[in-house]
Amino acid sequence: MGLAIVTGGSRGIGAAIAEKLAADGHDIVINCASSVDKAEAVAEKCRAHGVKAVPMQWDVSDHAACDKALKEIKETLGVPYILVNNAGITRDGLMVRMKEEQFDDVIRINLKGAYNMLQLCGAMMMRAKQGRIVNISSISGLVGNFGQINYCAAKAGLIGMTKTAAKELGSRGITVNAVAPGFIDTDMTSKLSEELKENAKKQIALGRFGKPEEIAGVVSFLVSDNASFITGQTIVADGGMI
Ligand code: NAD
C-alpha cells in the first residue's frame, strides 16, 4: 500500500475515490481548489480506515503550485505511488457563442492541470521505479457532446496524454490509464436541466445515472495488483450509454 494523491477530492467522484483508496489501505492526499473544510471532512472519513489522510489546497492549473505541493508531500509523506487526476470543471456553451475565456478555463484546468501533475509526479515515480496513474476523462471525450467543445477537447486530450505517458513511463513499471465515466450523480450534473437528465437516462442501458462510488471502484481496480499488466487504456463506465 502506498501514498495516493487525488486531485479535486473534496466532493463528488474525487471524494468517493479518496474514500475507496483509503478503504483499500492507501494513505491519501486530498487536493482541493478552495474548499479545505470539505477536503478535511473527506480526510476524516478516510482516517476512519486507519490510514493517514491530509487535505491540501492548491490550483492544479498552476505549475509552480503543483511543484511546491509535490515537494512538500515528498518531504512529509514520501513519494506518491498513486496519482488520480480527477479535478475538472465545465463551462458549457454552443461553439459559435462560446467565449474565449470559457474555452481557455476548461483547457487550463482539465487538460493542463492534469499534465502538470502527470509531469511532476511522473518524474518522481520514474525515480522510484513504480507508480499508478489514473486520469478521469469522460465519454464526452470519446463521442463529443452538444455545448461542450471545450470539455470534449480537454477530455479527448487527456486520453492522448494517457497513451503517451503510458509509453514513456512503462519501462519504469508505471501504469497510466484513463476512466471515461458517463453521467454520474454529482454537483457537476446537478446543474443540468431535468429534461436533459431524463433524455440522457433513456440512452443509458441501465436506465440511471451512475454513483461516484461506481467510478471509484474502477480506479481502485486500475491501481491494484490485479491491473498490473493494463496500461494506456481508457475504461468506459457509463452504464451502457455509448
Ligand atoms: P465536481 O464538480 O463535483 O468536482 C470537481 C472537483 O474538482 C471539485 O472538488 C473541485 O473543487 C475540483 N477542482 C476544480 N478546479 C480545480 C483546480 N483548479 N484545482 C484543484 N481542484 C479543482 O465534479 P465531479 O462530477 O465529481 O467530476 C470529477 C471528474 O470527473 C471531473 O474531471 C469531471 O470532468 C469528470 N467526469 C464527471 C462526470 C459526471 O457525470 N459527473 C462524467 C464524466 C467525467
Q: What are the angstrom distances between the C-alpha of 38 and each of 30, 65, 78?
A: 10, 20, 24
Helix, strand and coil percent figures for the chain, each rounded to 5: 50, 15, 30
Q: Which atom of ligand 1 lies at the shortest distance from residue 110's CA?
A: 32
Probe target for ligand 1 pocket from 5, 7, 13, 83, with the most ligand atoms within 8 Å of CB: 13
pLDDT score of 30 more than 90: yes
Annotated active-site residue in 151, 156, 215, 219: 151
Q: How far apart are CA 153 and CA 90, in angstroms?
A: 12
The response to whether residue 239 sits with its C-beta less than 6 Å from ligand 1 reads: no
Ligand 1: distance of its center to the CA of 7 in Å?
A: 9
Nine-digit cell string for 105: 478555463
The mean of the pLDDT values for the chain is 98
- Give residue-wise pLDDT tens across range 101-127: 999 999 999 999 999 999 999 999 999
| Dist. CA 115 → ligand 1 center (Å) | 15
DSSP 25-79: T-EEEEEESS-HHHHHHHHHHHHTTTS-EEEEE--TT-HHHHHHHHHHHHHHT-S
**Which of 188, 241, 242 for a ligand 1 pocket mutation test, highest count of atoms within 8 Å of Cβ?**
188
Examine the pLDDT at 35 and tell me if it is beyond 90.
no
3-state class of 231 per DSSP?
coil
Q: What letter would DSSP give residue 93?
A: B
User: Rounded to an integer, what is the distance from CA 103 to the centroid of its chain?
Assistant: 19
Q: Is the CB of 12 under 6 A from ligand 1?
A: yes
Residue 217 host element (H or E)? helix 212-222
Q: 39 in ligand 1 pocket by Cβ < 6 Å?
A: no
User: 151 catalytic, yes or no?
Assistant: yes
Q: What's the confidence (pLDDT) of residue 139? A: 98
Contacts of 105-110 spanning 24+ positions with Cβ under 8 A? 105/150, 106/150, 106/151, 106/153, 106/154, 107/150, 107/153, 107/154, 107/157, 108/61, 109/60, 109/61, 110/151, 110/154, 110/155, 110/158
Average pLDDT (189-201) is 94
Nearest residue by C-alpha to atom 6 in ligand 1: 8
- Our answer on whether the CB atom of 59 is closer than 6 Å to any ligand 1 atom is yes
Task: Find how far residue 122's CA is from the centre of its chain.
Answer: 15
Nearest CA to 9 out of 212, 168, 150 is that of: 212
- What are 142-161's pLDDT values in tens digits? 999 999 999 999 999 999 99
Taking residues 76-80, what's their average pLDDT?
Answer: 98
Ligand 1 contact, 89 CB (< 6 A): yes
